Amino acid sequence: MTKKLIECVPNFSEGRNMDIIKQITNQIESVEGVQLLDIDPGKATNRTVVTFVGEPEPVIEAALLAMKKAAELIDMRQHQGEHPRFGATDVCPLVPISGVSMEETVVYAQKLAKRAGEELQIPIYLYESAASRPERKNLASVRAGQYEGLAAKLKNPDWKPDAGPAEFNESVQKSGVTAVGARDFLIAYNINLNTTSVRRANAVAFDVREAGRTATRKGKVLRDKEGNALRKAGKLKAVKGIGWYIEEYGVCQVSMNLTDIKVTPFHTAFEAVCDSANSRGMRVTGSELVGLVPLKV
């Protein structure tokens, strides 16, 4: 019988203090049956992506211990970084690896969310395949407003958390909230440009990402009959992207999430950014992976 294996990829809102990061990852390594695969801190984003794998129950236990330690050590009231975030453990997705279906992984994500809400008193939103309603599937929608917008968000009945406390007390909830999900492999990939202009980097991101950009004509936003802004789609399906400036490199990047590598493979995304950058008078000077990728990539 094939052993059930799932991967967990929590993102913690600390990328500069290695002592804090080590205390969190020590909790993961303390759980028997779990293997820590990768720790990828980012100074400019002030965020660390951790990857570990194991059978479902040990993975849930390790995730809970890490979330608890992050809540103790990370104060979101003081957090600053380039990456959108709303919690000490910002996201905690589970990924089916072998012997387990996405439907089963959703059940494990729900179990993790319930335990984190009850035992750690952290408000939890479920996203991607584990989302409790369609508007919560997209992480960007769930995280809209970031940590600073939580007080207002939690007062809105439409954004009541799926688990944990539904009210916001800053002194108690200095660790914010967490999005727990079930999803397929996601590749986080950043491409360097020879520019320091975030505006120009965003122009490239808008060219390639699926959501594209707001449609305009002669400087005016185009709208449909209901008044909603129309959008001009980007070149690549299953790709999210933004432009940002990375101080430690002294350049801007196009930061992308490839959410389905069967639809848009790794090399296709790289070539599309190169083409867009060249057409706009820039060039690609390097790139970096965040975390791990499947061997087949």
Q: Which of 68, 69, 83, 153 is catalytic?
A: 83
The C-alpha angle with vertex 205 and arms to 199 and 207, in degrees rounded to 5, equals 105
**Which residues are within 8 A (CB) of 96 and not within 5 positions of it... i.e. 6 or more apart?**
6, 102, 104, 105, 182, 184
Asked about 83 being catalytic, the answer comes back as: yes
Calculate the CA 253 to chain-centre distance.
17
> For 196, phi and psi rounded to 5 degrees?
-110, 10
CA distance 175 to 71: 5
Whether 24 contacts 70, CB under 8 Å:
yes
Spatial CA neighbour of 150 closest among 133, 134, 164: 164
CA distance 178 to 92: 7
CA distance 44 to 85: 13
Alpha carbon of 125 to those of 7, 91, 117, 283: distances in Å? 19, 9, 10, 39
**Which residues are within 8 A (CB) of 265 and not within 5 positions of it... i.e. 6 or more apart?**
297
User: What is the set of active-site residues?
Assistant: 83
